[in-house]
Chains A and B, each alone.
Chain A
């Protein structure tokens, strides 16, 4: 079966990197002056040569986003159901070798968490777990999905990669979208970051969006963990992945997130640094390359940064997030996956959105869709 792995095999990390870093102002201007951009244009837009054009890129990104998405900003809340994890990863607080107390929420506890989240007005929920296919596998999801279905119009999840038939079953239970980040497309160094557990299987993770697409999922969220490897090269591969998926699974929507490594329990060191200016460049580059992709920003980013970038291409943000199971009501002090940076509650974030001339959208889907 032909998958993204076959496309990926045709590219060499070092050659791609060299190509990005060799782009010049002519390449950047060509990319900016086109009506439709290619992957080669995307390379130019994320290259160092594009940095002097940042204001122009920001203006263009703003215009394109406004035309396609209007003056609206989607709000969603993550809910961590479990911090159990069988993986050992170099950058995550949930890592198996991190000796902290683990917990998985029961249905009763989930109902308490839901009550707290619903009070803010949320109708879109993102379910997050560590990667433990035994404690937090299909049997668990079968049990908890009906609970979420009762309260939310839109259910997304960010959990361990699964098989196609499992995704098909979850879609039938109301799953709308799945976020699955490759973390890094640097195949050689991937093993250095993912030392043990199922996540160490680079190919299985790489082909997850293919399995999701074949299962008929409504939306797939992509991303790389910024801070692991050269962000420009990683972002090119992410865009390549997006481009392939859009052509192959054309009925699926896509989103891209920009997680930057944050301090976490057990460590805090990013190998590679990306500045705020460069992150803005990356956000604008994605928008200029792809006018329709949803761009998402989490509470990892600071209040000041988030206040400004919502006008530059971002279409959805989380607010008031807790990154620990039970964080909203049941056990606020349990182990966090990472520290958040923007600590404002959802009402404060919604007020900020309004003050910027945007409408905060709490509901943009309905349970009736996707019913088969």
Chain B
């Protein structure tokens, strides 16, 4: 399988993971190690940057993990830029997962503020991965603004409903010049495999692993599903057909 390049990093695993909702930091660590994930997103609001022995960060101190601080909780571009700068200073990374969802109920992303923040953060030298609705035009605008990747949603965060936006994800994947990471709503390994088969470059999964009865086993299931989906994509899937091939074709009377 091919590797994935985003900005200055190369990833073998195409499964990106989140760190919220786990019943303990220890269990989170175990699950994420098993998942093989090399990019792990951390909510800045959950980290105590003034504490050297912050529990969450201690459990993410593995060479395989690249930290991707996220701005979950901000409501405007201005807040997001400030949060990204704080994260850069605290966690020593210029990577940022841009999450601007002023609606705290469904956590749906604000496209206007996201575009504004991406423009500004890209100018400041950040590697920006914005969480967005599955909007093909916005993805192209973000490309022009200097985004390193796009992260369209499959369905609302934490809903586990799968790829409700599949038609738009296909357009985004077809048109995108930057990696496409399907983020949010992936509730089962089959959803992840489906995204990969469509040609998504990676998926980001949190809730489905964190709230599983056995998060470690579920993490492994996602690892396998993402690899299988990507392999299938690279192997070239056969075309599905709407109609059966007739055994007695209607045009068989024609001479060659």
In the bound complex, residues from chain B placing their C-beta under 8 Å from that of A358 are: 23
Closest to A219 in B: B104
B22 touches A359 (CB 8 A): yes
B82-107 CB contacts (< 8 Å) to partner A: 82-83, 86, 102-106
In the bound complex, residues from chain A placing their C-beta under 8 Å from that of B24 are: 354, 359
The number of inter-chain residue pairs (CB within 8 angstroms) is: 79
Closest to B43 in A: A364
B127 proximal to A (CB < 8 A): no
Question: How many Å lie between the Cα of A372 and that of B78 in the bound state?
Answer: 8
Closest to A293 in B: B105
Task: Indicate whether A253 sits within 8 Å of B104 (C-beta atoms), given known contacts A69-B21, A368-B82.
Answer: yes
Question: How many Å lie between the Cα of A364 and that of B21 in the bound state?
Answer: 12
Per the CB 8 Å criterion, the residue count for chain B at the interface is: 30
Closest Cβ of chain B: how far from A68's Cβ, in Å? Answer: 6
In the bound complex, residues from chain A placing their C-beta under 8 Å from that of B164 are: none
Give the contact stretch, choosing among B44-52, B141-149, B218-226, B237-245.
B44-52
Question: How many Å lie between the Cα of A175 and that of B177 in the bound state?
Answer: 43
In the bound complex, residues from chain A placing their C-beta under 8 Å from that of B25 are: 359
B75 proximal to A (CB < 8 A): yes
Please encode chain A, from 111 to 145, with 1 for each CB lying within 8 Å of some chain B CB and 0 for all others. Answer: 00000000000010000000000000000000000
Task: Indicate whether A250 sits within 8 Å of B48 (C-beta atoms), given known contacts A70-B20, A368-B79, A370-B79.
Answer: no
Closest Cβ of chain A: how far from B243's Cβ, in Å? Answer: 35
A19-73 CB contacts (< 8 Å) to partner B: 66-72
Question: How many Å lie between the Cα of A72 and that of B43 in the bound state?
Answer: 14
Please encode chain A, from 323 to 349, with 1 for each CB lying within 8 Å of some chain B CB and 0 for all others. Answer: 000000000000000000000000000
Question: How many Å lie between the Cα of A366 and that of B72 in the bound state?
Answer: 10
A251 touches B103 (CB 8 A): yes
Cβ contact of B45, chosen from A69, A292, A359, A365, cutoff 8 A: A365
In the bound complex, residues from chain A placing their C-beta under 8 Å from that of B73 are: 365-366, 369
Closest Cβ of chain B: how far from A235's Cβ, in Å? Answer: 20
Closest Cβ of chain B: how far from A245's Cβ, in Å? Answer: 11
Closest Cβ of chain B: how far from A103's Cβ, in Å? Answer: 32
In the bound complex, residues from chain A placing their C-beta under 8 Å from that of B22 are: 70-72, 359
Closest Cβ of chain B: how far from A81's Cβ, in Å? Answer: 25
Cβ contact of A68, chosen from B23, B82, B158, cutoff 8 A: B158
A173 proximal to B (CB < 8 A): no
Question: How many Å lie between the Cα of A246 and that of B82 in the bound state?
Answer: 27
A364 touches B45 (CB 8 A): yes
In the bound complex, residues from chain A placing their C-beta under 8 Å from that of B137 are: none
In the bound complex, residues from chain B placing their C-beta under 8 Å from that of A364 are: 45-46
Question: How many Å lie between the Cα of A284 and that of B44 in the bound state?
Answer: 31
Closest Cβ of chain B: how far from A353's Cβ, in Å? Answer: 9
Please encode chain A, from 356 to 367, with 1 for each CB lying within 8 Å of some chain B CB and 0 for all others. Answer: 011101011110
Closest Cβ of chain B: how far from A151's Cβ, in Å? Answer: 11
Question: How many Å lie between the Cα of A341 and that of B248 in the bound state?
Answer: 82
In the bound complex, residues from chain B placing their C-beta under 8 Å from that of A359 are: 22-25
Closest to A73 in B: B23
B134 proximal to A (CB < 8 A): no
B23 touches A357 (CB 8 A): yes
Cβ contact of A369, chosen from B79, B103, B105, B159, cutoff 8 A: B79
B104 touches A251 (CB 8 A): yes
B210 proximal to A (CB < 8 A): yes
Task: Indicate whether A292 sits within 8 Å of B105 (C-beta atoms), given known contacts A68-B158, A70-B210, A368-B86.
Answer: yes
